[in-house]
Amino acid sequence: MSRRVYLDHNASTPVHPEVLAEMLPYFGEVFGNPSSVHGFGREARDAVDASRDRVAGFLGARPDEIVFTSGGTESDNFGVKGLAWAAGRGHVITSKIEHHAVLRTCQALEAQGFAVTYLPVDGYGMIDPDDVRRAVRPDTIAISLMHANSEVGTIQPARAIGVIAREHGVPFHVDAVQTFGKIEIDVDAFNIDLLSFSGHKIYGPKGVAGLYVRKGTRMVSVQHGGEHERRRRAGTENVPGIVGLGKAVEIRRRDMKEEATRLTALRDRLWDGVRARVPDVRLNGHPTERVPGTANIAYKHVESESIVLGLDLKGIAVSAGSACTAGSVEPSYVLVAMGVPIEWAMGAVRSSLGRSTTAEDIDYVIESVEPIVRKLRAAMPVGAA
Amino acid sequence: MRYSARLLEHFLHPRNAGLMRDPDGTGEDEFEGCGDLARIFIRVREGRAVEVRFQSYGCGPTIAAASAASELIGGRVVEELVSLKADEVERALDGLPDDRKHAAEVVAGAVRAAALDALRRRAA
* A106-129 per-position pLDDT tens digit: 999 999 999 999 999 999 999 999
Q: What is the pLDDT of residue A383?
A: 46
> How far does Cα B25 stand from its chain's mean position?
13
Q: What is the pLDDT of residue A384?
A: 42
Each residue of A18-42: pLDDT tens digit?
999 999 999 999 999 999 999 999 9
Measured in degrees and rounded to the nearest 5, phi and psi for residue A322 equal -130, 155
Complete DSSP assignment for A243-308: HHHHHHHHHHHHHHHHHHHHHHHHHHHHHHHHHHHSSSEEEES-SSSB-TTEEEEEETTS-HHHHH
Task: Tell me if chain B has a CB within 8 Å of the CB of A317.
Answer: no
Q: How many CB atoms lie within 10 A of CB A364?
A: 16
Each residue of A54-73: pLDDT tens digit?
999 999 999 999 999 999 99
A106 is catalytic: no
Each residue of A157-191: pLDDT tens digit?
999 999 999 999 999 999 999 999 999 999 999 99
Task: Tell me if chain A has a CB within 8 Å of the CB of B79.
Answer: no
> From the candidates A30, A50, A317, A324, which is the catalytic residue?
A324
In angstroms, the CA A366 to CA A364 distance is: 5
Mark residue B65 as left, alpha or beta (left: phi above 0; alpha: psi -120 to 50; beta: remaining): alpha
CB contact under 8 A, A303 and B57: yes
Q: What is the pLDDT of residue A378?
A: 85
Percent of chain A exceeding pLDDT 90 equals 90
Task: Tell me if chain A has a CB within 8 Å of the CB of B58.
Answer: yes
Q: What is the pLDDT of residue A197?
A: 98
Task: Tell me if chain B has a CB within 8 Å of the CB of A373.
Answer: no
Mean pLDDT, chain B, rounded, equals 93
Nearest CA in chain B to A315: B1
Which amino acid makes up residue B119? L
Contacts of A327 in chain B (CB under 8 A): 31-34, 99, 102
pLDDT in single tens digits along all 124 residues of chain B: 589 999 999 998 999 999 999 999 999 999 876 678 899 999 999 999 999 999 998 888 999 999 999 999 999 999 999 999 999 999 999 999 998 899 999 999 999 999 999 999 998 8
Nearest CA in chain A to B54: A379
Task: Tell me if chain B has a CB within 8 Å of the CB of A380.
Answer: yes
Of B33, B56, B63, the CB nearest to A328: B33
Tell me the C-alpha to C-alpha distance, in Å, between residue A50 and each of A21, A31, A58, B61: 16, 16, 13, 51
CB contact under 8 A, A327 and B102: yes
Residue A140 pLDDT grade (very low, low, confident, very high; cuts 50, 70, 90) = very high
Each residue of A348-369: pLDDT tens digit?
999 999 999 999 999 999 999 9
Best residue in B1, B52, B57 for a mutation probing chain A (most A CBs within 10 Å) = B57
Nearest-Cα distance to chain B for A177, in Å, is: 29
Q: What is the pLDDT of residue A323?
A: 58
Nearest-Cα distance to chain B for A276, in Å, is: 23
Mean pLDDT, chain A, rounded, equals 95
The number of CA neighbours under 13 Å toward the Cβ of B42 is 36
In angstroms, the CA A262 to CA A255 distance is: 11
Nearest CA in chain A to B100: A326
- Spatial contact of B36 and B103, defined as CB atoms under 8 Å apart: yes
Each residue of A325-355: pLDDT tens digit?
544 566 889 999 999 998 898 899 999 999 9
CB contact under 8 A, A324 and B36: yes
Task: Tell me if chain A has a CB within 8 Å of the CB of B66.
Answer: yes
In angstroms, the CA A118 to CA A97 distance is: 9
Q: What's the whole-number mean pLDDT along residues A257-285?
A: 97
Torsion of CA A166, A172, A178, A183, to 10 degrees: 20
Nearest-Cα distance to chain B for A356, in Å, is: 24
Task: Tell me if chain B has a CB within 8 Å of the CB of A323.
Answer: no
How many Cβ contacts (< 8 angstroms) between chains A and B?
A: 73
Q: What is the pLDDT of residue B33?
A: 65
pLDDT at A385 over 80: no
Residue A224 pLDDT grade (very low, low, confident, very high; cuts 50, 70, 90) = very high
